[in-house]
Every structure is written in C-alpha cells, then in structure tokens.
Structure 1
Amino acid sequence: MIIRTAQITDLPEIMAVYAQARKYMAENGNATQWDAAYPSEELVKEDIRLGQCYVGTDDKEKIHFVFALIIGEDPTYLRIEQGAWLNNSPYGTIHRLGSDGTRKGCFAECLTFCLNRIPNLRADTHRNNLTMQHLLEKYGFRRCGIIYVKDGSERLAYQREPGNNAKDNDTDKSLGLNLGADDYVVKPFSLIELAARIKANIRRARTYQPLPCDMAVKIKDLEIDPVSHTVRGFPLI
C-alpha cells in the first residue's frame, strides 16, 4: 500500500470510504460515534487544504483507507478525566481513520506512516468502538483517561510514547516485521549490532540460491519431481 497526501480530486473516493466505515461501525455495535453526516465534505476539504488528510492506495491507485494526522495541540485534549496523558511533549493525533474493509493491515500501515513523522502519538475513540480499542492497544497505545469532543460526548483517550520499555520495543519490532521487513532494530540501538545485522543479511542474500522450478528435489531415497508431480514414482494427491 502507498500512503500519500490527499488531493481535492480524491474527495468522492474518500467520502465512499467513510460511508463504508460508518456502515461497519453501525453493524458492529457502534452506531453513534459517527452520525450520517460525519465526517462532512466540508471537514474533509479542510483537512485536504491543510495538508493533513492522507489516503492509502493500492498499485492501481484505488483508495482503501483514509485518515488525518494533525500535529500540534488538540483543544479537546486539554481536559482529561479519570487519568492523565503519558507526557506533555509535542504530539500528533490520528483522527478520522476509516477503511473500506477490503484490505487487512490498514491500521498498521497508518501507524508506521505517522510514527515516521512524529513518534509521540495520541488518539481517541468511542467506548463502543471495540475494533479501534483493540488495534490501539495491540500496537502499543495506552489508555489514559476520558476526554470530551465538541458535542460534549465522551471518548476514551489513548497515547503512544516513543518506545522506552521492552513491551514497546517488542511492539515496534512486530509492527516492522509484519509489514515485510527482513530485520528490525529499535532506537536507541548499538552501531555494532546494526553493522552485524546488515552483514548477516548481506551474507544471507549472497548464499541464497533458489532452485529452478523444474529441478527435482532429492533427499536420501526420496525424490520429488515438480514437473511430473510425482514422489518416487507415485502421483501427488
């Protein structure tokens, strides 16, 4: 998937993705977080104008998910109850994340994109949005308390600090490897370890010799012929 800044020409596709996201929410016990008009075209246009709306596309440029990454203070986060934020350092907030439901891993790709821009992230979600709560907690966000959005309704507040303990580091490694990395190190890292990992991957690439697709594989008395689909002369089922 490719993540890029949304353009105004993307608006029809973006609104279709949000419509599908609202449908999923309603069918999974969360019909009140987003009403039929949220997010509005005006709000999405403003996100696009400010350069804070992003879309995830496939290699044919079809949009599968959309989100806003807003760096800076969120006014609704100034008041938090039943807890406290993990820190008061500069942060980014993930808002309005929606998917068309046809691709897995959209949240992980969104998170990786956001972490590359600012490692201190916040988010909020409705108490009935169990899917988002699961994803936030799976990928290292911690529940911090309750905040209230503009209409006065409550949201569960989450924050993800830059990795500073073993659990966070494991989450970062899992995220990187699940997205296709062959290896992964988290900051802070040792330059000696990094150099050793790079050399190990180079050795692995040099020694790997894929077998021709028509070459028979022989293991002691066992012979597998991929051309005739036989094992020691008997057809494979």
Structure 2
Amino acid sequence: MIFHDMAYLGHLYDVNGYGNVFEKFKIGPSVAINPGNAYLVPKDSPYQSIEEIIDAAGNGEEIKVAIQPGGVSEIGFSALKNAVKREYPGKEGNIVAVNTGSQADKNQLLFNDYADVINGSVQANEQFTRLPESDQKAMRFVWLTARNETIQKANSEGLGETTREDLLNYVSPNASVPMTDKQNFTFDKEFFFIYNKGTDQKIVDCIDNALKEVYAKGDIKKRQKELFFIPNYMPSSEASKHLKGKMADYKKIINNIQS
C-alpha cells in the first residue's frame, strides 16, 4: 500500500491498531510530499502570526486549537505546545486541543468561534483565505509546517490565488516554531510504500528500480507538481532510514510535552 507519516505517528500517539511500522512491515520507497499541512486563524483574529500565538499562550491566554487527534493533524499541535514549553516553561497548558474529526468539522469550529486556530491544508482551506474579513468563513494562514526548501520546489503559481512566494511567508524561518535552541520545527507529509514483512526482497528491488526509471523520465514529476505535490523519490533503504529519523525526532517532542 501507499501511506504517509501517520503510519508511524499513529504508533507514537498510541492510536488503536497502529504498531511500530518499522517492526511489523517492510518500508518501501518514498514517492511524494504533500507540502500543504497548515494552521489557520479567522481573518479577523488578533493573532497575526504563529509567533504571536506562542507569545499569547506564554502570557496566559488560552489558545484553542482544533485538530484530528493522533497523527499528521496533531504533530504540529504538539510542536506548538513544545515551543511554548521551551519559551515559557509551565505555560504550555495554554495550548489546548479541541479534538474533532474531518476538515469540515475543524472548519466549522473556527466559523463558530469554538477554536482560535485550526489545522488545515493549503488544498482544503486556500479558498477561504480569499474571502473578505466580514465573511464568517474567512480565514488566513499563519503557519505551514513544510520545510522552506520543500515549498521552494512548488510551481511558482502555488495553489489557487496563493502563490509560492505567498506560501513562503508561512514557513521557517519566516514563521518560527522553535524545536531546539538552534532549529525550528518542520514537517513534510511524505508518501511511501509499505510492504508485508514477508515480501520477497526481489519484488522490493524491482519496484525500486522501476520507480527510479519513471522518475528519471520526468513526466510524473511534472504531473505531481501540477497537483501541488512535490516529487520525492527515495529508494526503500534510504526512505526507511529517513523516516526512522523523523520518528525519533517527533518522539522527543511528544515525550517532552507529556513529561
């Protein structure tokens, strides 16, 4: 199957049914990044940036963040809470999860003022950023979790009426969510193959080699970028090592806010 980072994040968040994917399965090649994981506020929100949200929480304001718990939606929330703990020890409890389900549910919480911030995506929410501030559904981006270099690889037109240059305003270092003293948190939502543990290595190698040829030809890269995906082929061994590294980094964040 093709899956994404939820495969290991679900295990880190103790979601039912998610074991350690690196032990239970065989990791195949990575194929693409969805660069659109985002956090948004109402267009009339007093918070103009993700830094202002961190500072507000540090200064005693409760910030309600609508997420779908246990995975891609929650990892940015965890990073935000971790940043508050780093910058304002003891104040991380002011970043409060409003656990819900679909993107429509998260949007509705924002429309009804039940959340101050929501997890969303460029693809699902960009249309709402075009609305006038007087519209109840109007919202704006404050943070994209993707790496700066990931957004740099997108087509210049971006998505909808939001250009690549617009999007770069919401990624590190322009939008700063500290993870360590020297590093901001980033998260690319990556898609990769997962095989059953007993899959013959010859099959894995065959698909690795076939995908290498497909990506070298280049048509798939053009098509992915047209759909606001970033081509990201890595062979199985490289992808497995890379994803294990991500899991280790995010485990530290989750453990830090739970301690």
Q: Which has the higher helix share?
A: 2
Where relative contact order (Cα < 8 A, 6+ residues apart) is larger, the structure is 2
TM-score after normalising by structure 1? 0.24
TM-score (norm 2): 0.22
Compare CA radii of gyration and give the structure with the larger one: 1
